[in-house]
Structure 1
Amino acid sequence: MQKAQEILKKYWKHEQFRGLQQPIITSVLGGNDTVGLMPTGGGKSVCFQIPALLNEGICLVISPLVALIKDQVQNLQSKGIKAIAMTGGIKSDEMIDLLDNCQFGNYKFLYLSPERLQSDWIMDRIKNLPISLIAIDEAHCVSQWGHDFRPAFLKIGGLKDHFPKIPFLALTASATPRVREDIITQLGMTAPNVFQSSFIRENIAYMVFETEDKLFRIEQILRKNPQPSIIYARNRKACHETAAQLQSLGFTATFYHGGLPPKEKEKNMNRWMSDQVQVMVATNAFGMGIDKPNVKTVIHIHLPENLENYYQEAGRGGRNGEKSFAVLLTTQSDVLHAENQFIAVLPDKQFLKEAYIKLCNYFQIAYGEGINEQFSFNLNQFCNIYKFPVLKTYNTFQFLDRQGIITLSQEFSEKVTIQFIIDQKEVVRYMSLNRSDEEVLLALLRSYPGIHEMPSAINLAMIARKAKTTESFVKSVFERLQQKKIIEYQAQSNDALLTFNEVREDDKTINRVTKYLERQNNLKKEQLQSVLHYVTTKDKCKSRMILTYFGETELTDCGHCSYCITKNKPRNDYKKMADQFLELLSERALTSRDLLIITNYREADIIFVLQLMLENKSIAINAVNQYYRR
């Protein structure tokens, strides 16, 4: 291992390996198939990069994360190490040149997205390369039981037949025992050495708080912990709104999601990475490959889809080893609406088939034709024409993409943005004088409450539907308002690029993938139940619950999660609290937030006592959520 440590010091400036890095590298250098389960931030890439630099030949790295591939290739190139990436959007001629460079140019790393392995000619070219190691990152994607299964990963097993003596290294940060065994089977590994770190992150305090006012609780957390923070939200609109609300409270905040132009993504990312802003509000498009060591707090304001994603996102805090907080904020309605959020939008076989046939008809693809044809595609327009629910349709096409039936670029960017640049009173005055524009303006104001504060991404089809008019009329209203300097209006094409990878065969195409759809839907239901169990269970250590989910058994309570802290604190005297509340509410009506500020009791206790008092009819609540004494 002496030479390995010398390379570690030379290129990565570290004196010692961390965690399981050394035994994994030793196993790979010994020519053994190896599985490494390491927590987020555990330094997985070093486990294949150092063996590759020590051996002759080229390391093939297969990863589904294009952003992470680009980041790693740039880092290697900045160190003077020759690396190439072959991801989506590269033409065949360019790929031929890249593969020639790999074969004759003394390159050490070839990064591929798994979908590239579906091209037989690429597989044939890879088989002629001097491969020394095959590394599979995010290896849970190879398992049908993984939270991000991609059938394209199943092609990797075919490489084992051609390279039987070349070690395979499968790496993942989140895999249940069932997923781990399936990875080994699907990759055709031979007696692999399995190394698994405990999933425990001792410096992370997992917190679950039920709160009536999420913004107020976020404000409390961020003022108490003014270090860099991430707030995860479910959608782009929530990113913009939350960032604007935090800015109005005096915090420095920015946002990140898949719909931003690349330059804006980079600008916002750099501002946060360089500590110019404290808070990054983001969808789960943010985070992969982001290694910022001093993140103090990771807050989720919506329920995650599964515990695998939650564990990875929460694990972006505290990478410097200092104490950090993973906070999940919930309301009772979050739990009640979870099935509508996640389960109701899953496509069944009938919807899958109908959406696929309509998609082919939309582009006039005849039966038996269509392979390799490309089209610009606007999801909202498609759904508007066929009266399909947008999210369910998006999930359907994403499923078809993962099966390799179509390829759909993920840039569903809302490029139509509007911001009012006059006062609200002047907008009302304009509507009273221009009745023909009133319905469009009302639909706009009701749908986008933050549109006066910052540019808002607009769904034209939705506005047209609410205003009971056409998209072309809505655009004409916006153009008129821009000319009169009432709004700032930017409109660009928001088309995605859609490619048909197979000939159209309707029943044959859909029937072939139905079993994967059923497994996916059942798995998502199981995963959601695990999330709900994690959120609603009040009498178990949160860290222990996560570890149990990932198959760990010899556990003790962490001592610093939301359950452990509550367990160790003396229980409040609820009668004394109720008497104090009655006295305060005799003077004036108060919200639960007011009581929290005045009394400094725990919010959960305040809500509990107020509910008891409502049931006993000693207090009531008015239309603005203020409590008052009867």
Structure 2
Amino acid sequence: MPQALALLQKYWKHNKFRSLQSEIISSVLSGQDTFALMPTGGGKSVCFQIPALINDGICLVISPLVALMKDQVANLQQRNIKAIALTGGIRSEEIIDLLDNCQFGNYKFLYLSPERLQSDWILDRIKSLPINLITIDEAHCVSQWGHDFRPAYLKISTLKEHFPKTPFLALTATATERVKMDIIKELGLHQPKIFEKSFARENIAYMVFEIEDKIFRIEQILKKNPEPSIIYVRNRKSCLDLSSQLQALGFKATYYHGGLSSKEKDKNMQSWMNEEVQVIVATNAFGMGIDKPNVRTVIHIQLPENMENYYQEAGRAGRNGERAFAILLSSPSDIIQAKNQFITVLPDKKFLNLMYIKLNNYFQIAYGEGINEQFTFNLHHFCLRYEFPTLKTYHALQFLDRQGIITLSQEFSEKITIQFLIPSKEVIRYISLNPNDQEIILAILRTYPGIYEMQTAFNIQLISKKSHHRESEVVTILEKLKDKGIIDYHSKNNDATIIFNEVREDERTINRVSKHLENQNQLKKDHLQAVVAYVDEKSICKNKLILKYFGEIVTTDCGICSFCITKKIKKKDVSLLSNEIIKLLENEDLNSRDIQNKTKNNPEEVIFVLQELLENNFILVKPNNKYTLKI
């Protein structure tokens, strides 16, 4: 491996490989199909970049993440290594030029999404390239048992027919045993060498705290750890709201979500990467390909969808090897909210069948017809016409796409923004004169507090639900307010394309795939239940729980997680603090912040003792989140 080590020193300025890197590189260089499970921050990219540099030809890298592709191409180009990415938005003429460069310009890396392989002419051009290695990044996307299945990954195995002697390298950071075997099968790997790195991150303290005042706890954490931090939230509105709250508390904070323009995303991300701000509040759209070594804390303030996502997001902390914290703040209502977001939006067989029939009716496709017909499609208009819930309909369409019944382009959305143009007192006056509009307008004002100051992204379905009015009625009110000059209202449609791949057979079509739907829905439920079990389990080391989920069994506690910390609290201290809290509650009801301030104890100890008192029925939690003595 002297040549590989020389390249590592020349281009990456490292004097030795990390764990398993040299073994994986040797396997690839020997021409062997290879599967590598390397948790977040393990250095997966070097495992294919160095073999590709050693061998003649070009390395084809298949990745689902545009941000990751752009980041890796930029890093390679900075090292004077020739690399190209075929990302979305590139015209056919440009793609032809880029592929010509790959063929005749001595390029070493071609990055593309799996969806690109579905274009026959692109596949034909790739067949003519001198491919020395085919790398499949985020390989868990090929498995229907994985947390991020993408149907286009199932087409990758066809490359084996065209490149039978070219090694495949499948890379993933998160895969259970079942998913691992599915990856090997679906990609058609031939007697692959398998390398698995432990999921243990010994420098990360996994913390779970059940509290009622999350903002106060975040404030404590960020003051105690002033280094760079990421806070993950569930939706775009929470990004803006929490970022604003943190700024009001004196923290330098920004935000990142999928609804921002590319310019805004880059600006906000760079301000955090350059440490102009301490905190970036983000949805799960942020993080892939972001390698900032000195992130001190990663905080989740709502339950993640599954343990795979949580492990990847938490793993963005402490990549420099120093002590870091992955903190999950939970409250009793979080489980209900998570079920509403992740489970109730799943379509069942009855809804899928109805939606499929209406979809065909929408495009006037007769029974027994429709194969290979293509249409433009607006999801929002379709849902309005049939009064379908938008998210459930979207998941149903995605399922039909994954089963090959339809092909659905993914660019569609309806971006709505509004801003009130008149002062709040004038809005109140309008409401008094137009009482029929009151419920919808009040729902808007309560949901979007910053709507007077700036153009605000607007969710029609959410306002419909909160105001107890149909979505069509919300749209009517918006148009009316716009006409009267009360709001500035913009609605921009990006239509999707739907191709029907089969003739219309209604129930016969849905019956054929209904078992897959049941399995998929159950998998989602199992994934969320594993998260709930991780949060609820209070008698086992959190590190042990994470490793067990991924199939690793360890016998010793980590010593630094929230469970291990509570074990270190002396029994005498527990007894004293318990008595002190009970005496305080004899005089008045208090929340955990009040109790912490009055007892002068650290948050972990207070929460631990409050939990003990709750479990032993000494105290109760009232609806206002205050603790009171049980009578």
Judge same fold: TM > 0.5, yes or no.
yes
**What per-residue deviation string (whole Å, max 9, x for no partner) do you get for residues 369-404 of structure 1?**
474735252x44432322222222222233344445
- Per the alignment, in what secondary structure is the counterpart of residue 202 of structure 2? coil
Number of aligned positions between the proteins? 621
Contact 1:152/1:403 (8 A) holds in 2: no
1:12-91 equivalence runs, <5 A = 12-91=12-91
Distance 1:66 1:516 in 2: 29
Separation in 2, partners of 1:551, 1:626: 39
Q: Does 2:607 align with 1:604?
A: yes
Relative distance call for 1:567 and 1:395 in structure 2 (3 A) is same
Give the equivalent residue in structure 2 for 1:502: 501
CA distance in 1: counterparts of 2:479 and 2:85, whole angstroms: 41
Q: How far, CA to CA, are the matches of 1:385 and 1:191 in structure 2?
A: 52
Deviation for aligned residue 1:363: 4.5
Distance in 1 of aligned mates of 2:391 and 2:70:
29
Maintained 8 Å contact 2:77/2:83: yes
Asked if residue 541 in structure 1 is aligned to residue 541 in structure 2, the reply is yes
> Counterpart of 1:177?
177
Alignment of 1:339-488 (within 5 A): 339-364=339-364, 368-369=369-370, 371=372, 373=374, 375=376, 377=378, 379-403=379-403, 405-410=406-411, 412=413, 414-418=415-419, 422=423, 427-429=427-429, 431-432=431-432, 438-451=438-451, 455-460=455-460, 463=463, 466=467, 469=473, 471-478=475-482, 480-482=484-486
Q: Give the Cα–Cα distance (whole angstroms) in 2 for the partners of residues 629 and 454 of structure 1.
A: 48
Alignment of 1:97-176 (within 5 A): 97-176=97-176
- AA at the equivalent of 1:505: R
Give, in angstroms, the shift of residue 554 of structure 1: 4.1
- Percent of pairs with identical residues: 59
- Structure 1 residues 500 and 480, CA, compared in 2 at 3 Å: closer, same or farther? same
Q: Which moved more, 1:137-146 or 1:156-165?
A: 156-165
- With 91-100 and 246-255 compared, the bigger mean Cα shift is at 91-100
Contact kept? 2:175, 2:550, Cα under 8 Å: yes
Change (3 A) 1:607 1:453: farther
| Per-residue deviation, 1:36 | 1.2
Greater displacement, 237-246 / 47-56:
237-246
- Mind listing any 5+ residue stretches in structure 1 that lack a counterpart? none
Cα distance in 1 between the residues matched to 2:90 and 2:501? 19
- The offset of 1:79, in angstroms, is 3.0
- For residues 141 and 513 of structure 2, what CA distance do their matches in structure 1 show? 16
- From the superposition, tell whether residues 551 and 109 of structure 1 become closer, same or farther in structure 2 (CA, over 3 Å): same
TM-superposed CA distance for 1:265, in Å, is 1.2
- Greater alpha carbon shift after TM alignment, 457-466 vs 132-141: 457-466
Q: 1:65 to 1:595 in 2, by over 3 A?
A: same
Aligned pairs (5 A) from 1:214-363: 214-363=214-363
Paired residues of 2:349 and 2:514 also in contact (CA < 8 A)? yes
RMSD: 3.0
* 406-415 vs 528-537, which moves further: 406-415
Taking the aligned partners of 1:66 and 1:39, their CA distance within structure 2 comes to 20
- In 1, Cα distance between equivalents of 2:182 and 2:480: 56
C-alpha separation between the residues in 2 aligned to 1:624 and 1:208? 18
Deviation per residue, 1:448-502 (Å, 9 max, x gap) = 34545765322346546738545243233145455xxxx6x35240435334263
1:582–1:558 CA distance, 2 compared to 1 (3 A): closer
Q: Secondary structure at the match of 1:416?
A: strand
Quote the Cα distance in structure 1 between the aligned partners of 2:416 and 2:191.
Answer: 51
Please state how far the C-alpha of 1:565 moved relative to its aligned partner. 0.9
Partner of 1:557: 557
Distance 2:346 2:363 in 1: 24
Displacement of 1:628 in angstroms is 8.4
Cα distance, 1:286 vs structure 2? 0.7
- With over 3 angstroms needed to count, the CA separation of the structure-2 counterparts of 1:250 and 1:96, relative to structure 1, is same
Q: Identify the range of structure 1 (140-149 vs 41-50) with the bigger mean alpha-carbon deviation.
A: 140-149
Asked whether the equivalents of residues 621 and 628 of structure 1 are also in contact (C-alpha less than 8 Å), the reply is no
**Change in 2 beyond 3 A, CA 1:391/1:464:** closer
CA deviation after TM superposition for structure 1 residue 25, in Å: 1.0
Say whether the 8 Å CA contact 1:232–1:284 is kept in structure 2.
yes
2: CA distance, partners of 1:568 / 1:389: 49
Please tell me whether the aligned partners of residues 419 and 452 of structure 2 are also in contact (alpha carbons under 8 angstroms). Answer: no
CA distance in structure 1 between the aligned counterparts of 2:595 and 2:421, rounded to whole angstroms: 37
Structure 1 window deviating more from structure 2 (249-258 vs 179-188): it is 179-188
Q: Contact (CA 8 Å) 2:370, 2:500: kept in 1 or not?
A: no
Letter aligned with residue 246 of structure 2? L
Q: CA separation of 1:45/1:504 partners in 2, compared to 1, >3 Å: closer, same or farther?
A: farther
Q: 1:36, 1:144 → 2: CA distance? A: 19
Structure 2 counterpart SS, 1:100 = helix
CA distance 1:534–1:6, change in 2 (3 Å): same
- Structure 1: distance between partners of 2:363 and 2:252: 46
Structure 1 pair 611–194 and aligned structure 2 pair: CA distance change class (3 A): closer
CA distance in 2, matches of 1:328, 1:555: 24
How many Å apart are 1:624 and its aligned residue? 7.8
**1:112: Cα distance to partner?**
2.1
* TM-score normalised to structure 2 length: 0.89
Residue 169 and residue 625 in structure 1: after superposition, are their counterparts in 2 closer, same or farther (change >3 A)? same
Q: Which runs of 5+ in 2 are unaligned?
A: none
Map Cα deviations across residues 191-238 of structure 1 (whole Å, 9 max, x no partner).
222111111111110011111111111111111111111111111122
- Rounded to whole Å, the distance in 1 between the matches of 2:526 and 2:622 is 38
Are 1:144 and 1:519, in contact at CA under 8 Å, matched by a contact in 2? no
- 519-528 or 136-145, which deviates more: 519-528
For residue 555 of structure 1, report the CA deviation from its aligned partner. Answer: 4.0
Whole-angstrom CA distance in 1 between matches of 2:570 and 2:147? 40
**Alpha-carbon distance between aligned partners in 1 of 2:459 and 2:149, rounded to the nearest angstrom:** 31
1:39-66: CA deviation from partner (whole Å, max 9, x where unpaired) = 1111211111111111111111111112
Inter-CA distance 80–479: structure 2 relative to 1 (3 Å threshold): farther
The farther-off stretch of 533-542 and 330-339 is: 330-339
User: 1:381-438 deviations in whole A, cap 9, x for unaligned?
Assistant: 432322222222222233344445333335646441336774x556535544665764
Distance (whole Å) between structure 1 residues aligned to residue 546 and residue 462 of structure 2? 40
**Residue-by-residue CA offset, 1:85-109 (whole Å, 9 max, x unaligned):** 2344444444444333333333222
SS in 1 for 2:208: strand
Q: Which stretch of the first structure deviates more once superposed, 459-468 or 511-520?
A: 459-468
TM-score by length of 1: 0.90
Query: Do the aligned partners of 1:118 and 1:155 also contact (CA within 8 Å) in 2?
Result: yes
Relative distance call for 1:151 and 1:350 in structure 2 (3 A) is same
Bigger drift between 173-182 and 490-499 goes to 490-499
| Contact preservation (8 Å) 2:60, 2:134 | yes
Once structures 1 and 2 are overlaid, which stretch shifts more, 514-523 or 130-139?
Answer: 514-523
Aligned residues of 2:76 and 2:82 also touching (Cα < 8 A):
yes
On the 8 A contact 2:58/2:133 being kept in 1, the answer is yes
Deviation of 1:145 (Å)? 2.0
Tell me the SS of whatever aligns to 1:332: coil
Residue 187 of structure 2 is aligned to residue 187 of structure 1: yes
Structure 2: how far apart are the matches of 1:184 and 1:621?
52
| 1:21, distance to aligned residue in structure 2 (A) | 1.5
Give the partner amino acid of 2:580.
Q
Pairwise CA distance, 1:132: 0.7
